[in-house]
Amino acid sequence: MNFSVLTADNHILFAIKHYDNPQSVTYDDFLEDMMRFKYLKRLFGRYQKTGVLRNHLIVNHMIVLFNVFGDAAIPLLIYKIEPQHWSVLKTYLLYLNRLPESNTGVFETITIDAQISSELSKL
């Protein structure tokens, strides 16, 4: 999977193309699901600033994203989440068994967050 294909010009079109939510009937429903990327970004930032971790909320947002975008959620997450949060992102992808099997490119050199991994093992 090529993670570098998404840009500011094409990421919305990519998301719409891969969006599959039978309960969604309007563009506003789509935008509501797209907001989950922003929520994750905030939760990751809060964790890195304060150490406060909302595991259940993060896992729920990620599950919904995978439910509505399928495997396309991975390049969207990489595009939407800043590189300084990729360690956190990789840890949750690994926990959800959604880390791409060809762990090359973006995630190859990224280490997992040991504290988050420990917390997730308790769930």
Residue 58 has which token pair? 């993060």
What per-residue confidence (pLDDT) applies to 103?
56
Going by C-beta distance under 8 Å and a sequence separation of 6 or more, which residues neighbour residue 43? 54, 57, 58, 61
Helix axis angle for 27-50 and 55-69, nearest 10°, is 150
Residue 50 has which token pair? 């304060």
Q: What is the DSSP letter of 118?
A: H
Please report, as a single letter, which amino acid is at residue 92.
Y
What per-residue confidence (pLDDT) applies to 42?
97
Q: How far apart are CA 85 and CA 67, in angstroms?
A: 22
- The pTM of the full predicted model, rounded to 2 decimals, is 0.90
**pLDDT for 104 beyond 70:** no
Percent of the chain residues topping a pLDDT of 90 = 75
pLDDT digits (tens, 9 = 90+) for 53-102: 999 999 999 999 999 999 999 999 999 999 999 999 999 999 999 988 76
What per-residue confidence (pLDDT) applies to 5?
77
**pLDDT for 23 beyond 50:** yes
Domain map of the chain by residue range? 11-121
